[in-house]
Amino acid sequence: MNYIGEYIKKFRGNMSLRDFAKKCDISHTHLDSIEKGYDPRTGKPVRVTVDTLKKIANAMGMSINDLLIQSGDVKIEDLNFDNATQLVSTNETIQIPVLGTIKAGIAIEAQQDILEYIDIPKEWLKGGKQFYGLKISGDSMAPKYEENDIVIFEQVNDYEKANNKDCAVMVNGFDATFKNVTINESGITLIPLNLNNQDKYLPTFYNKEQIANLPVKIIGIAKEKRTRL
């Protein structure tokens, strides 16, 4: 069901579509598509970006977290997706393995085959830090991360460091997925950057009991992406 679209339409009440779209700083045609859940001109599902959701939530006087709660979606906090950077050029490098493919969609069994080795600056290793690379499959983290991008992850097991970061997450002990992570006192939420991804992966919440029993484990924080032409 189009929970968010239905909630937005109910929220604006007697306010016209054009007036509310102007308040959101988006086009009235895009707002109409969001409320319907599809583009009337093409019949295809509407693509809703995180920035657009932020504009709509602001116009409603709430955070994205509140918008998703009230519309019947999962609980998340305000989003921040800016922790990955581009390649740092240096002669002081060391090679790390690209271990295999991680799904930017639904969780799939983690592949541990070494595909290749890539260089990273030696200075990253200060303090005993460790890194590995994974090749991206799927579109749920697009457009920031595209199919076949290689993402370098800092190996971590500290949940606090992972909050509001793009992370490799292990679910059920062997399924790995790549998502933005939000952590609060209730649990952890895995969030796709592309809400209209092919796998139809929506923000997914795991409570503390599920984190412990499944388990759900942060295995890396995105440090850098490298795009292959």
What three-state secondary structure class fits 175?
Answer: strand
**Alpha helix ranges (H) inside the chain:** 3-12, 17-24, 28-36, 50-59, 64-70, 159-162, 208-213
Of 140, 165, 223, 225, the active-site residue reads 140
Any catalytic annotation for residue 135? no
Whose tokens are 């006087």? That residue is 61
Contact yes or no for 218/162 (Cβ under 8 A): yes
Task: Give the residue from 79, 100, 96, 116 showing the smallest Cα distance to 176.
Answer: 100
Q: Does the bond joining 215 to the residue before it have cis omega, within 30 degrees of 0? A: yes
Using alpha carbons, list the distances in angstroms from residue 65 to 14, 182, 193: 24, 11, 15
Contact yes or no for 26/18 (Cβ under 8 A): no
Any catalytic annotation for residue 179? yes
Of 165, 179, 223, 225, the active-site residue reads 179
Q: Which letter, b or e, does each residue of 181-197 get, where b requires 16 or more Cβ atoms within 10 Å of its Cβ?
A: bbbeeebbbbbbbbbeb
Catalytic residues: 140, 179
